[in-house]
Amino acid sequence: MVRHLFVGLLLVPLCCLFLIAQENKSESFDSDPSWEGFNNRIVPASAQLVTQDFGYTRTKFAGTSLGEIGGQIWRTSRPAVYAKQIPRSTLEDRLNASGTFALTKTTSDSGVIFGWFRHPLRSSGRPISSLAWYLDGDNEGARMLTICVTGHNQQNGAWVTQYEQGKKHLPLKADGTRHTWSISYDPDAGDGRGAIQVTLDNAPPVTAVLLEGMKDDPTEFDRFGLMNVTKGGGPFAIYIDDLTINGERMDFATDPKWEAIGNREQFEDRQQPGVHDFGYSETNFAGGEKGEIGGVLWRAEQPHGHYADPIDTLSLEHRMVAEGRIAFLEGAPDSAAFIGFLHCKSREDSSGELKNVLGVFLEGPGRVGHYFRPVCATKLGTVADPGEGTILLQDGKPRKWSMEYDPTGNDGKGVIHVTIDGATTKLLLPDNHKTEGAEFDRFGLATLRPGGSHVKIYLDDLQYTAKATGR
């Protein structure tokens, strides 16, 4: 175990040296550092009993003769799949499929995904390397969207059924109605960016054009079939028949013996939305010897959670640095985490405002995945955030990162530099930040609001400012 303080001086002009003397701390996590944990290991009040029960079935909800695929599919943290192995294809290939489906059960926070994906399934809510339609369920029924998720987790799609943010419109009822559908992908459509087209029953086709650069991501498909959404929720019952995949027709008169993973099992799911599970871990995802910090952090309204080392109180008048290694394993849509300097009173603030933080956001829109970028929030809740940064891939690979805050930069207003894999994002603090002020007495990992989904990250070999001896 290496845990010590040392005095560091950054390479700056000699006239500034008297401003930046600092004491940094080094932590390699060879053993449990006993940092302060607050709501970081939440035990759910009760585990959810999940019963996955789907695959080939001798029923005829979606067709006119016995034999179809489907059944009960739970939205849960453990992946479940029933799929056909197909020849490898990419976003440079034409894809098409059609068939029928019928819904017999929908519940709150339920859903199912049907389409092309890559094995083994890498899923953070919606599976990486997939092109599919997705049914989002509630007690009243379901709505449909189509979406493509690249190998680097860039996403884009479109609602097939009408949907307004904040208003539920669920046209697909769980009453056994037989629906017809088709989905096609043309790599040359959308001015060469590629486009998905979906039809549902007799409605006009809906088209989703891929974003610029999505086709350049290393995206492959070698399976076609049913998948659950890997986020805690409820059960959904769907049946599919008269299926055609890339010109091959299947009527399911006999068992197709598709690949089945986790589709017929019962278990207790304790990874529920908002159930944080992070802190010291005897793993080495971020590299080096066994021992690091990290785990699952949810973006949740409540409760706030952090795992952090108490340090001397610092302010925006102090120079602060941090560096180490990070491994990003999972990052579902609408997820985020914070790494850096914060204040212990964060746990007492129920307003949802971001206050007294300086460090790194791991967050971003679905169209890009997750940015690794600087952020600073004053004690009054004024936030400075560039909005973009270096895209961090959730491939589990260890990466070096660093952060430097210079209070004398940007004409004395302060500047933050965040670097990962050699790429740097700069944040110039606005005029009012240092006037409003901020205080930091912890360094570590913290959760963010508003409610969303989870990331799974690990940090190791950290060095960070623990005490400022100068301004």
What pLDDT was estimated at residue 122? 65
C-alpha–C-alpha distance, residues 23 and 141, integer Å: 58
Query: Minimal CA–CA distance to 440: which of 364, 377, 348?
Result: 377
What pLDDT was estimated at residue 168? 54
Counting every residue written for the chain, the total comes to 471
What pLDDT was estimated at residue 125? 66
Show which of 222, 253, 269 is a domain's final residue. Answer: 269
In this structure, the answer to whether residues 304 and 160 fall within a common structural domain is no
Question: 182 with 96: CB under 8 angstroms?
Answer: yes
In this structure, the answer to whether residues 169 and 289 fall within a common structural domain is no
Show which of 222, 244, 269 is a domain's final residue. Answer: 269
Show which of 247, 269, 291 is a domain's final residue. Answer: 269
In this structure, the answer to whether residues 224 and 323 fall within a common structural domain is no
CATH number of the domain enclosing 393: 2.60.120.200
User: Tokens 């939440």, residue?
Assistant: 42
Mention every residue, 6+ apart, whose C-beta is less than 8 A from residue 237: 70, 71, 72, 73, 103, 104, 105, 106, 174
In this structure, the answer to whether residues 201 and 150 fall within a common structural domain is yes
What's the domain count of the chain? 2
How far lies 470's CA from each of 19, 21, 63, 319, 354, in Å? 5, 5, 76, 9, 27
C-alpha–C-alpha distance, residues 24 and 4, integer Å: 8
In this structure, the answer to whether residues 238 and 379 fall within a common structural domain is no
Radius of gyration of the chain (CA): 25
Task: Note the pLDDT tens digit of each residue in 400-440.
Answer: 999 999 999 999 999 999 999 999 999 999 999 999 999 99
φ/ψ bin of 369: left (φ > 0), alpha (ψ from -120 to 50), beta (otherwise): left
In this structure, the answer to whether residues 80 and 209 fall within a common structural domain is yes
In this structure, the answer to whether residues 423 and 281 fall within a common structural domain is yes
CATH number of the domain enclosing 129: 2.60.120.870
Structure tokens at 284: 């080495």
What is the amino acid identity at position 469? T
In this structure, the answer to whether residues 258 and 310 fall within a common structural domain is no
C-alpha–C-alpha distance, residues 204 and 206, integer Å: 7
In this structure, the answer to whether residues 33 and 129 fall within a common structural domain is no
What is the amino acid identity at position 13? P
What is the amino acid identity at position 77? S
Rounded to two decimals, the pTM is 0.84
What pLDDT was estimated at residue 379? 94
In this structure, the answer to whether residues 340 and 235 fall within a common structural domain is no
Domain residue limits at 131: 48-269
Question: 245 with 114: CB under 8 angstroms?
Answer: no
What pLDDT was estimated at residue 16? 41
In this structure, the answer to whether residues 176 and 76 fall within a common structural domain is yes
C-alpha–C-alpha distance, residues 323 and 400, integer Å: 8
For strands 220-228 and 126-127, give the pairing.
unpaired
* Residue ranges in the chain whose pLDDT is less than 50: 1-2, 6-20, 471
What pLDDT was estimated at residue 38? 94
In this structure, the answer to whether residues 255 and 304 fall within a common structural domain is no
